[in-house]
Structure 1
């Protein structure tokens, strides 16, 4: 079931750069190793692995909540307010868990002091070494007053190309595509030691889909203690509410996969018995910053769906107009018997919990679209590409396929403009009744 749009996206130049999630995972694995060693050395009477796991989980969760992993452009942990807040939250939370759960054993003060020393002094240095080994390929924008590329390399930035600040607008016009993507880079690092540069780049950022990161001070002390590198954008994903959104995504996705796992295995069996072909269907969709990813669904169509579609469109001009307008067919002969029921109950969407866990999607967000749909959104707004797409969203609980395409675009854009954490919770609560009503599902 190939798609021309998917082929077009696959032909885009690949960005050779580290995966930020991999870097965070490595830092958390180092943290787990250190906690295990500290327990063995400073609390030798402790025998429960639950103690190590709980301390690690609480530190990781508290770190995320306070914004420690908000951007890998700066070092995680160190002598910062975020790190001290994360440590304090984890310390207090462990005391509460210990009072309720005997498997979480008492840990001496010296253990906590040693852990604080690691987070404050050693963890940022380990982070620097990891960034040195796994650099991120970036465009560096500078005033050329002093050589800074060597220092940036230690901070995890591989300056593949360097341009002058005055030349940045022309460089972006030459290298960006018609939508505003910069295919060669997913991050542009800017020297903003001059406040006027930050103002200029923030204005440019609203027209391009790439992460702009500003650095004010080029010294190791500044990198570790501040002022830290920060994102320059008119629309920011930073903030406590955005982090809580991700915590909700992770918690609900893990819970859903754990509870629905046996049911999903049954669905997979029914799909295999109904028609030949794979259980899962992968399709290229566009996510944040117009970067493509594989969206996962249960397969609901026959294996030769593309050939069937072409025959239908060639033979029926009315269905061709319907498909060209909505990218859907109401009575789609490509859909299998089991697939028809999976679509009506939205069961085919369950594998998208895996996309949410991978950070490619959120539970709630704009509808993930394909390359060919960009032109429809461009005439209205491309704001939806500032955030991850959602497994459910305002469109899905407002009639789904019964709404016009223009209405879909309007709802997606309104969601991004008016987003609040409370609105996400409302949409999640409205999703189940919308699914059970089967309104607009086909």
Structure 2
């Protein structure tokens, strides 16, 4: 369908990644950083330039826009969504994207830090990229393909549809979100204003992948109250809350139930923060698995570790708090099998094998699905995200654009 079309996705992507949009988990603002809006304003201007008349950036950092219908049929309104922020885990300032043309399987030594080497043997999807053009950062920052590849792909697909009115499709809504990387990507989204029936996030990894299942996720905080005494006179009296916290972490299993020892459908208990002093301390955890039942099992197990440790500290106490974060979107998507089926067909029409997969993580689509917008996740081509070895291929991005356009056509055909 797009064979004679000169894609704009790469040119857009190279520009977008040079705009610093890192989010900040320690900020209570919405969006967490104002600089995210720097890219969002560019997107609104570009949407207007391609003829989309209702593009807007709201006060919370969300971009909404409409590609008008060209079909006279009554077609469900679909939405394509990506996030503009990049991870706080690695700098996104002054990104210098580099295109490695006609990749031939070699290790990629990044020029601004020769110790940063993207080794073919360590990246399972790289061998499939022989002959393609690989984009990386220069070695000092992340690239930002997560999720500016998805943003650029949606923008290019929008441009294609706006310049090819002969393509029959229903009304399409575009949504760009802030703060996805810190778990707040849907915090202030207005689904009534969005007005979509079904959605797709463009935020996946491997070419041809469609993710319709995510982790279910909870957060746990253990708040410990110990017994403080002057250390010179503490024998038999002091019970250090900080040491209790450390003991709880030390008693977690070494060979199972951790991110570094699990894969596939295995869940985990992961300590992500510890703070405090002798009298009071706290430990934060994230709990992940694919079913709510398994989540509760992990939480019960963690609580039992806490209670066992406290047996040795009779004058101390602890509070075990569980905070729901998100749930496996498959619970919702299984009620709307055509949403996933159409995406798989769209991928196949782009000439690539479709792979239905689970993701060991969450997306905006997880929350959107439970908010009333069933929303699986389509590949964007991003790899090794959140670090300096992040990469994406030009050809994979172009296939993502074609998949988006195909999806618009399929929804119209099936209406």
TM class by shorter chain equals under 0.3
* TM norm structure 2: 0.25
Which has the higher Rg, Structure 1 or Structure 2? 1
More strand by share: 2
Q: Which has the higher contact order (CA 8 A, sep 6+)?
A: 2
